[in-house]
Amino acid sequence: MTDSTGRVTLWGIEVFLTVAEEGSVSAAARRLAASPSGVSQHLTNLETALGRILIDRSHRPARLTAAGDIFRKRAQRIWNEAMQARAELAAGDLQNLSDLRLGMIEDFDGDVTPRLLSDIAGDLQDCHFLLETGASHHLFDLLENRTLDVVVAAELLQDAPAWVESHPLLEEPFVAAVPKGFATGTDVSLSSLQDLPFIHYTERHLMGRQISAHLVHNRVHLRHRFELDSYHAIMAMVASGAGWTILTPLGYLRASRFRDQADILPLPAPLSPLTRRITLSARQDVLQDMPSRLVERLKPLLQELIVDPATGRMPWLQDDLRVL
């Protein structure tokens, strides 16, 4: 935002950076919880103050001009410093926190996330919460550019970048989901599944790439006609007998409507076991002890809402699905 004298303020910088990232005024307005006309006017005011057009809004999606590209580098540094200062001022005491920008993996949005927000909202009466749910790689991108303060997501790399502090939360195995009654007991082999198409979780997401890499590592080639990005759609197809899939207990639990119409089993031989880890991550040394305090709140919720229900239905998961 700029005032009548043409001075640039943080709101103007935030508007500019958000429009540049989202590629449209309307998408930026939704993210900022502002009106499209207001966002457009603030961007115009900023451009007037700087004497340059920063974003070509006639193009779809909107794109930076040469001047906008130059200004974005400086604007991002200003915004990053301001957000770090805000976090450092609040980090000493959760009670002083005025804003918390939290990213949560989609797997948790039906149960864990609402409970966590309700829990911490009781302690932080004056805090404004911004929640972003999405794929793990997207959340880490938002953490890196300081759009989010904390993210709970699947671990991307065993060795996190130096700027990240990472707190392990949950480890879960990858499992096979097959049509109800297809297998007897808890064992199934790839040879017995050869007549069923493999329904692949999309490789556009980290989990899909992990599955593909594991198949290659085990020298297994599966016939698949479907590649989907929705647990519900995948489990609906498995439940209907259209194929089988590889996913995690979190994915199975999220597609609750189809839990009783499919069997969940260990990965079929000759595939070796595969696991993934869910972590809470923040920028190193910025929020002081706040990430660890959030971890303390999350772990009991994960035990109650994820581990206990899953191992109750599938006791064979007892040693592999665990809070860390």
- Cα–Cα distance between 180 and 199 in angstroms, integer? 16
pLDDT of residue 300: 95
Q: Nearest to residue 102, comparing CAs of 89, 121, 85?
A: 121
* Torsion sign across C-alpha atoms 62, 66, 71, 77: positive
Rg for the chain (alpha carbons), in Å?
A: 23
Q: Nearest to residue 177, comparing CAs of 278, 253, 270, 272?
A: 253
Cis preceding-peptide flag for 270 (omega within 30 of 0):
yes
Cβ neighbour number for residue 240 with a 10 Å cutoff: 12
pLDDT of residue 30: 87
169 to each of 77, 127, 149, 151, 266, how far by Cα in Å?
A: 31, 24, 17, 12, 22
Phi and psi torsions of 282, nearest 5°: -150, 175
| Spans of the chain, pLDDT less than 50 | 1-4
Q: Which amino acid is at 9?
A: T
> Global pTM?
0.71
pLDDT of residue 247: 94
- Cα–Cα distance between 144 and 83 in angstroms, integer? 12
Residue 27 C-beta-side C-alpha neighbours within 13 Å: 12
pLDDT of residue 274: 95
pLDDT of residue 290: 80
